[in-house]
Amino acid sequence: MFTSEQDNFVKMFERSFRDNWDLNAISDYGTHTTLTYGQVALNIARLHELFRACGVEKMDRIAVMGRNNCNWVTTYLAAVTYGAVIVPILQDFKPNDAMHLLHHSESKLFFVTDLIWEGMELDQLETVQAVYSLADFRLIATRIERPETITFEAATEKVKELYPNGFTAADVHYDDRPNDSMASINYTSGTTGFSKGVMTTCNALASHLKYFIASGYVFRGCRHVAFLPLAHSYGCIVDFLGAMAAGGHTHFIGRTPSPKILLQAFKEVKPTLIISVPLIMEKIYRKQIAPQISKAPISWVLKVPYLEDVVLKKIRQQLVDAFGGEFSQVILGGAPLNAEVEAFLRRINFPLSVGYGMTECAPIISWTPYPNIRTYSCGKIWDGYMEARIDEPNEEGIGEIQVRGEHTMLGYYKNEEATRKTFTEDGWLRTGDLGYIDEDGYLYIKGRNKTMLLGPNGQNIYPEEIEAKINNMPYVLESLVIQNETRLVALVCPDYDAADANGLDRAELEQVMENMRKELNSQLAGYEQINKIKLYPHEFEKTPKRSIKRFLYTSMAEN
C-alpha cells in the first residue's frame, strides 16, 4: 500500500494546484466557462468554509448528482480534500431511487442539478441538511437555522477575511488524510438488481493516478474530452482525476454525447488521450465504415493486396482525423467490444486498446496500452497493482475471474452479507465474470457468470458471443439472447431506419430475420443454435454504462 506523501491521494491535488496555478484546468464544453487551477483551488477553499458552516465533519458524506460540469468536479475535489466522503450518484437514477441512496449513504449535503431536484423533497431526506445547485452553488433547500450563514456567498466572504491579501498557491494546504481511508461510495448501476454502495479507498484511486502519470498517458498540458458520466468510476479516474493530478485540461460535455457533438469536440479540443466505451466505436463502424467497405468498388479493391493497403491506410487516417488527430490511443472499457469491429480496427492498425475493470476495483483490473495489445484480449493484469486467478477452470481454461490488490474495495457500505459473498475466504474478490488467461498473461473475457447459459448436455453457452454475431447482421440495432428451457431465443431490436430506407414492411423484415437466423446457425455449434428470433419494438433498457439490464427480459423467451 502506498504510504509516502508523493503517493498520497489528497497531496497529489495539493501539489497539482500549486504547480499548475495559472494553467487552464477545466472547461464546460460549448460555454465560456473555463477555470484555471488557481480558480478551482479558490472555489474549493470557499466550499470548505461552506462545509464548516454546515457542520460537516471528517468522513461525513457529501453527495453529488448531475451531468458533467465544472461545479460537479469542484464539489468532488472539495469533499475529498476536506476529509469527507464523496457520494457520486448517477444522473440516470430515478428521483425515488436517488433519495433512497441519499438516505442509505447518510449524506449530509447534496449538490444536484436543478431539474433533478424538482422530483425530490427535502422532507423525505432525513440526513440531508442542505441542498445546493450544481449550476451556481446556490442554496436550494435547508433545514439548518439561519440559512444566510451557509450560502456560497457567505463562504466567499469568509475566505476574503481569512486571506485579506488574496488566496494564493502558497495557501493551498489540505489536512493529512491516510490513503487507507474511504474516499467515496459509488453505487453500482447494476444489470441484475439493486445498487450496492462500493467503498473505495484513497489508495485505490491514488494507485491509478500514479500509474497514468508515471507512464506519461496524462501529463502537464494534456487535453481531454470527458463525455462518460463522471459518477461512473471509469470516466472519472482518467479524464477527471488523472488529468487534474497531472496538470491537464479537461473539457466536460454536459449533454447527451451524440456523434455530432463528440466529433465537433474532438476537432476543437484535439484530445491527447480518449476514454470511451465500445458503443461509440461500434456506431462509427456500422454507420460510416461498414457501408464503405461492403460496396463495390471498395469491396473489390480490398481483395487486391497492394490496393488493399492503400484503401485501409486512407480509412485509418480518416478515423484518426475524426478523433482530433493528436491522441496517443483510444482506450475502451465498460463493456465487451464487438469482435468484428475490433478485428477491422486491428487490421487498419488503429491506435486502440481495451481494458477491463469494475466499480469494485476503482475500476481498472487489466489493461495493456497500444501497440502491445492482443486481439480480443483486455490486456494484462496490472503488475504491481493487481493479481488475478481463474477459479475452477474448465477444460478450456475458462472459469470465474478473481482478483485482489491495490484497487479492491473495502466492501459494500452497510451490506455485510453482500460483501461476504463477494470475497472468498482467502481474500479474493469474485468478479462474476468468466474468462481465461493465456500463457503470456493476457486476460480474455467470455461473459458474465450470471448470464452464462447451459446447453442441453450441460455445455457452457456465452450469450454475449452470439449477440456480437447477430449485431453485425443487416437491419439489427441490438440483440439479446435468452433461454426457454433448453432452447435459445434472440430478441432483436431492428434498425428501423435502415429497413424503411429499403422499403421493408413488417412481414418482409421478419423474413429477413428468419434468413439471418439460418445463416447465423450455420456459424454456431449445435448446442448454440437459435430456435427463434423475436422482434423487439425499441431499444433495451440499459444501465448508465450502456449495459443491457438482462434481468428485465428473461421471461420473454416463453412462447
Q: What is the pLDDT of residue 191?
A: 41
pTM (2 d.p.): 0.84
* Positive/negative CA dihedral, 120, 124, 126, 129: positive
Cell numbers placing 29:
464544453
Cell numbers placing 264:
465537433
| Residues 468, 388 share a domain | no
CATH number where 217 lies: 3.40.50.12780
Domain boundary (415, 448, 481) is at 448
Chain position carrying cell 455449434: 525
Query: How many domains does the chain divide into?
Result: 3
| Residues 208, 236 share a domain | yes
User: Per-residue confidence of the chain (559 residues) as pLDDT tens digits?
Assistant: 555 667 899 999 999 999 999 999 999 999 999 999 999 999 999 999 999 999 999 999 999 999 999 999 999 999 999 999 999 998 878 888 899 999 999 999 999 999 999 999 999 999 999 999 999 999 999 999 999 999 999 999 999 999 999 999 999 999 989 999 999 999 986 543 467 999 999 999 999 999 999 999 999 999 999 999 899 898 899 999 999 999 999 999 998 888 789 999 999 999 999 999 887 888 888 878 888 887 778 878 788 877 888 889 999 999 999 999 999 999 998 777 888 899 999 999 999 999 999 999 999 999 999 999 999 999 999 988 999 999 999 999 999 999 999 999 999 999 999 999 999 999 999 998 999 999 999 999 988 777 777 666 556 687 888 988 898 888 999 999 998 877 899 999 999 888 888 899 989 999 999 999 999 999 887 878 999 999 999 889 876 656 788 778 877 756 5
* Positive/negative CA dihedral, 369, 371, 374, 375: positive
Nearest to 79 by CA among 140, 33, 132, 156: 132
For residues 219 and 245, give the distance between their C-alpha atoms in angstroms, rounded to a whole number.
Answer: 9
| H-helix or E-strand spanning residue 252 | strand 249-252
Chain position carrying cell 457452457: 460
Cα dihedral 277/278/279/282 (nearest 10): 150
For residues 422 and 101, give the distance between their C-alpha atoms in angstroms, rounded to a whole number.
Answer: 21
Q: Is residue 15 part of a domain?
A: yes
Q: Where are the alpha helices (DSSP H) in 83-189?
A: 95-105, 114-117, 152-162
| H-helix or E-strand spanning residue 31 | none
- Determine the structural domain holding residue 381 and report its residue range: 274-326+329-405+426-448
Q: What is the pLDDT of residue 192?
A: 38
Q: What is the pLDDT of residue 472?
A: 85
DSSP string over 415-445: -HHHHHHHB-TTS-EEEEEEEEE-TTSBEEE
Q: What is the pLDDT of residue 447?
A: 80
Nearest to 229 by CA among 248, 209, 256: 256
Q: What is the pLDDT of residue 458?
A: 56
Cell numbers placing 91:
444522473
| Residues 146, 53 share a domain | yes
Q: What is the pLDDT of residue 194?
A: 63
| Residues 458, 443 share a domain | no
Nearest to 90 by CA among 112, 107, 106, 60: 112
Q: Is residue 413 part of a domain?
A: no
